[in-house]
Structure 1
Amino acid sequence: MFKLIISSLWDFRKSWKNYLVFSLFYLLLSSYVLIPFLGYFLNRVLLLVSSGVLINSAAFSLLLDPRGIIGLIILSTLAVIFTVIQVGTYIVLAHKNNRNQAVLISEGFITSIVSIKRMLGLGALYLALLFFLILPIVNIPIMPEISEIIQFPQLLMDTLMGNIITRSLYFLLIALFIYLLLRLIFTLHEVLIEDQKVWTGMKNSFRLTRKISFNLLFKLLLMNLILFSLGALFFTLLSSITGLLDIQVNYILRNYLITLASLLTYIYSLLLIPLNIIFITKLYEQAKGETPREDRLKTHNLSFLANIEHKLFRLLKKKRILLPAMLFLSILATFFTGLFINQNTIYAGRDVAVISHRAIVQEEFENSLEGIRASMEADIDIIEFDVMMTEDQVIVLHHDRSLRRTFNLPYQVNDLTYEELQNLEIAPPEGFPDQDPFLPTLDDAMETASGDAHLLIDVKTNGDDEAFARELVDIIEYHGMEEQAYVQSFSNTFLSHVQEMNPEIITAQIMYYTLGDLTSLDVDYYTAHHGMLSQSFVRQARQDDKGIWVWTVNTEEAIREVLQYDIDGIITNQPLLVKEVLGRSVEEEEGEH
């Protein structure tokens, strides 16, 4: 087996430039053509079944509409085709190199495209379904950009992982998918090399892996463990160089080496896929057991692509300095860009609002007047609390519809009038402030927060969105807090009513999952679950002139992670910790006042 690994590394060494060039080419192609096309197609599907965007649990309604199901099947099929072209090119290159036959990158690329016709049929539909199921759950390192379009909600993942039964089912499902992937691992080899239809290729792959599936898994794991160890050793040695340098030049050179290591890590990740394909191709030849075996792979190409490729490699060979110069300029540009970004997004001094979740600063009772007072004393930028409406349309501070968790009472807030709620006999839970009313009203909260305090009102709607919005807007206007009270909700319909009644009030859409074009949301901020954050999400929000608040971030590691993005505020149960990470102290802020 070690001979097979060494042989794979040797084959890669002979043609690494070809693999790197194709990896970069396909990255550009997917980033600027394929992924935008898939995104456009998805948006067209969403326009058929909705207004163009589905947020949170509404996203799953796509699976209840026949047009949505057909659209997702087509989308998955296209994703499979794009993946087949990428992996197929690597297979053609690996197969020909394995037989010491000359092959062009364009030759492998066109051959993979031609093979698509053999992918049509029920087999392709099966692969598309498998791809659609696996991609959101398992982060496959092939065309990772697709996961920006089809992804599993982080909040749902957290919920699954929080229950031992669902967690066990999840891991069983992962094990099943891995098993299926292993049994189907030679499908594309059969389609490309043996000129088989995809369904026949799948059956042949099952036959070839019948007795070696777990052995195959072990070999793949060992191969990647060796690659990972070599990469880790190299980058560890690279980073340790800074410790041997003089302290006066260490800072600048250290940042340069970090940038260099990041670039090399990225290139290394691009090359991991072809390395694995080379190894799998050798395992395939071994599984076929025919030595020597007739080469049935017929390649295809376009003359103008072949000419372009010949000219490109002649230029690179003739001007050997060209490729190193391009890499050097890329590294230099990346270094100064990274230096600029680091100087402007370093944690200390960031203009990021600290938002106390449920008005909690340390151990105050949630959604209490005590918490609001504590937030004001700690000089928290924005105080967030939850509200809902009683049966007689009084807005009170509470998170759950039921009183079970907070007060151990079997009642729903919206089933009782405010007077009935106040007359309930309760045993004050631990931490409940004696001087505070049971379920304070929004009026109580605004009177407590009078002055310069900024409030973020998280509205839990109960069905009558318009009446709720009317009451909320009236209270905000009565207290003259149109510029200080922000309103957020999961319900976009509710937020639309608030906007219509008073456009001056800032609104925010709470979200943990989205599909489609967010520009159709008429809000000022996105209150995004931290699992949603990505560079593309932030970039799109900034292009749409939207602010970004992130919920709920409570550990130092998570705080530093979200601060890597251009966000406007952090909703947290640990506001003092966020202030500490941001380099703000109570003493400094009191001095400023």
Structure 2
Amino acid sequence: MRDSDSTRVLAPPRSFREQFRAIHKIRVGRMSNLWLYVRYQLLSKLLVSIVVFPAYNWALRKLIGATGRSTINSSDVMGFLWSIQGAVAVLLSAAFVLLVMCLDIAAFVQLELRRLQGEPLPTARRMLLDALRLYPRFLHPGSLVLLAYVVILIPLVGFGPEPSVLEWLKIPNFVMDVIIHNPAYLTAYVVAIALLGVLSFFLLATFPAMLVHGHSPWGAMRESLRYMRRYWLINLVWLVIYLVTVLLIVGVTLAVLGGISLWGIPLVAESLLTIRFTTLLAALIAAGAVGLILLFLTPSMLRELTRVYAVLHDDSPVRPEPCISTASTEDRQARPRLFAAVVVAVAGSVIAAGIGAWNFDDLFRSEAKIEVVAHRGGGDLDAENTVKGLEAAAAIGAQWSEIDVQRTADGAYVINHDSTFARVAGESRAAEDMTLAEIKSLQVENGFAPSSPSRPVATLEDMLTAAKGKIRLFVELKGATADRRMVDDVAALIRQHSMEKEAAIISLDQGLIEYAEQKNPDLLTGFLYFFAVGDTENLPADYLMMEEQVATETELLRLNDAGKKTVVWTVNTEASIAKYTVSSVGGIITDHPQQVIQALTERSLRSDLELIVEQVLNFG
């Protein structure tokens, strides 16, 4: 094919070998691209963090405030979305995500297309302006499908071009825990992810197709499907090569710096201060290197996808000779600049390591007390939501136990999490459909250790009696009977047992917690949520109890400064336990209280290297 000025372009290769050679031929330009990426990412992230996101956040808060709320959260998000302000907020959020897509995805595709046509690299400022000029093209009805691809599909399957501002999007851990422990759910999940993964792969060329051929977002997705059906093999091979290369770079970087930390530092460091300094320096450089790789993961993936698409597609102008010549020259010019940037970054790390080593104990050896909350009675210590589990949690030193209360048909209160007793006791009826006497005949199986003895279903009175003076209780109002009557009845039972300071009423329903605060201001309350936007410090509860994805270190520090008590749920994995036992959270809800207590005990005994790795790399 020839373009308008009859310049010869690369003919689309036909065989797999020809395709591979044609793509490999134009591999130059990585160094100059990297130098431009550094400058562009700094400029675009500054724009988003200083201008775009604050403006979006301000507008969103105004919309939330116009409905009489200070936040929207998992309790009342649907009520907000059905309002006029909610509809405007949805449109505003879509416009925000589309703008970020222009800055974080379309910009890099457009850059590679120009490079493939032999044009010189633009400045970071010009690249940013060009990306902003693309924005109107995304204001199209077809962008709804594109948004679903970027916001839902890519986070679900775990690969594809994803804007950095959306990296937090994923299935919550508490949902994954339910899926993993239910064979039917797990099978369906694996099949769904496999099918969605294939779909995501076939949509990888969406952005190149949109910008190369001027398709609408929906048309570009259809073009990507057609293109990938024809060239799936070379794209798959190239994607595997790319992913293996990234993993090797990360692995080698961490291995080298880990080796320096474990064996090199003791050889050259003599005093505690120098050991801390060199360990911190190695950790900071490792965190910076890995962070840089992750920051450039989407741009580099888009580079490869765009190049493969442009080389293989029948209607994409590619000028190999001008591209190679220009890119080679720019690579030579970029090397000393990159070297200078590395020197500056290392110098900054040296200064930061020096400050950190001098103030090491204040920064890394915090004495903040984190309380352990056994989930559903005693977690994995015994059958869930039973007196034996509660007693086991108290015996190992857990400060709290979280239990779930439901009302029976005759007005009593029993402890059970699910809508029925099917999972724990083989009874398909719900608590509200059974009398207390009928429920008393049930036996709760130990899901963590099936061979262990079953236990009777406990009443709320049983749990309060067993807990008094030994362990405090988070009493969650659960099921269809969670209403104001339940709030009043549970509050009365807490008072009857004189446990006003030993028990807290908690719920996922913000309205119930507001009612509990109004009727019983002297009792402790806790609000559970897995999503919140706005002034979360104004939520009406003594304890703010967040799902893991919400409980970022920044959010925890902000809420602590506002005087709120913070709790994170449900912390079950080794990685999560390691993360939150060195965090600023006030309490950890877990199915594995013994492991969390052990981790907290070992926290004071951890070496400097362990503390640095956990805090710098986990929260860096």
Deviation of residue 530 (structure 1)? 3.0
Counterparts of 1:5-404 in structure 2, within 5 Å, are 10-43=28-61, 51=69, 53-56=71-74, 59=77, 68=86, 71-98=89-116, 99=118, 101=120, 103-139=122-158, 140=160, 142-148=162-168, 152-161=171-180, 162=182, 163-190=185-212, 208-242=227-261, 243-247=263-267, 248-249=269-270, 252-288=277-313, 323=341, 326-332=344-350, 334-335=352-353, 343=361, 351-360=369-378, 363-404=381-422
2:165 and 2:563 mapped to 1: Cα distance? 24
1:58 and 1:158 mapped to 2: Cα distance? 24
- Does residue 473 of the first structure (1) align with residue 491 of the second (2)? yes
- On the 8 A contact 1:469/1:494 being kept in 2, the answer is yes
SS at match of 1:211: helix
* 1:524 pairs with one of 521, 542, 556: 542
- On the 8 A contact 2:374/2:591 being kept in 1, the answer is yes
Cα distance change of structure 1 residues 544 and 11 upon mapping to structure 2, 3 Å threshold: same
2:26 and 2:365 mapped to 1: Cα distance? 44
Tell me the amino acid that sits aligned with residue 107 of structure 1. R
Deviation of residue 88 (structure 1)? 3.4
1:389 and 1:237 mapped to 2: Cα distance? 59
Q: Percent identity?
A: 18
**Which stretch has the larger CA shift, 488-497 or 199-208?**
199-208
Which residue of structure 2 lines up, in the alignment, with residue 459 of structure 1? 477
Cα distance change of structure 1 residues 206 and 173 upon mapping to structure 2, 3 Å threshold: closer
* 2:596 pairs with one of 553, 568, 578: 578
1:28 and 1:405 mapped to 2: Cα distance? 51
Deviation of residue 353 (structure 1)? 0.6
Cα distance change of structure 1 residues 347 and 115 upon mapping to structure 2, 3 Å threshold: same
Cα distance change of structure 1 residues 272 and 507 upon mapping to structure 2, 3 Å threshold: same
**Which stretch has the larger CA shift, 168-177 or 198-207?**
198-207
After superposition, the C-alpha distances for 1:431-481 in whole angstroms (9 at most, x for unaligned) are 246xxxx54443343333333642222222544622221222222223322
Counterparts of 1:464-543 in structure 2, within 5 Å, are 465-514=483-532, 517-543=535-561
Which residue of structure 2 lines up, in the alignment, with residue 311 of structure 1? none
- Does residue 566 of the first structure (1) align with residue 571 of the second (2)? no
1:573 and 1:126 mapped to 2: Cα distance? 39
Tell me the amino acid that sits aligned with residue 34 of structure 2. W
**Which stretch has the larger CA shift, 328-337 or 170-179?**
328-337
1:556 and 1:128 mapped to 2: Cα distance? 33
Deviation of residue 22 (structure 1)? 0.6
After superposition, the C-alpha distances for 1:552-576 in whole angstroms (9 at most, x for unaligned) are 3345443113324321112223322
1:4 and 1:321 mapped to 2: Cα distance? 30
SS at match of 2:384: coil
The number of residues matched between the two structures is 556
**Which stretch has the larger CA shift, 521-530 or 358-367?**
358-367
Deviation of residue 384 (structure 1)? 2.8
Deviation of residue 482 (structure 1)? 1.5
1:379 and 1:292 mapped to 2: Cα distance? 69
1:348 and 1:135 mapped to 2: Cα distance? 38
- On the 8 A contact 2:280/2:357 being kept in 1, the answer is yes
**Which stretch has the larger CA shift, 21-30 or 330-339?**
330-339
SS at match of 1:567: coil
Deviation of residue 260 (structure 1)? 0.9
SS at match of 2:544: strand
**Which stretch has the larger CA shift, 179-188 or 66-75?**
66-75
SS at match of 1:571: strand
Counterparts of 1:371-450 in structure 2, within 5 Å, are 371-418=389-436, 420-421=437-438, 425=441, 431-432=453-454, 438-450=456-468
Deviation of residue 251 (structure 1)? 5.3
Structure 1: segments with no counterpart, 5+ residues: 296-313, 586-593
**Which stretch has the larger CA shift, 262-271 or 455-464?**
455-464
Cα distance change of structure 1 residues 469 and 338 upon mapping to structure 2, 3 Å threshold: farther
Tell me the amino acid that sits aligned with residue 240 of structure 1. G
Tell me the amino acid that sits aligned with residue 144 of structure 1. S
Deviation of residue 523 (structure 1)? 1.0
Say what the alpha-carbon RMSD is for the aligned residues.
4.0
SS at match of 1:580: helix
1:227 and 1:180 mapped to 2: Cα distance? 21
Tell me the amino acid that sits aligned with residue 113 of structure 1. L
Structure 2: segments with no counterpart, 5+ residues: 1-18, 321-332, 446-451, 604-620
SS at match of 2:563: coil
Tell me the amino acid that sits aligned with residue 303 of structure 2. I
2:139 and 2:573 mapped to 1: Cα distance? 49
After superposition, the C-alpha distances for 1:124-179 in whole angstroms (9 at most, x for unaligned) are 4442343343354245553222355x654443344445414421442144235414
1:369 and 1:195 mapped to 2: Cα distance? 66
SS at match of 2:296: helix
Tell me the amino acid that sits aligned with residue 261 of structure 1. A
1:564 and 1:471 mapped to 2: Cα distance? 38
Cα distance change of structure 1 residues 138 and 111 upon mapping to structure 2, 3 Å threshold: same
- On the 8 A contact 1:189/1:281 being kept in 2, the answer is no
Cα distance change of structure 1 residues 377 and 411 upon mapping to structure 2, 3 Å threshold: same
Tell me the amino acid that sits aligned with residue 456 of structure 1. F
1:203 and 1:366 mapped to 2: Cα distance? 50
Cα distance change of structure 1 residues 226 and 53 upon mapping to structure 2, 3 Å threshold: same
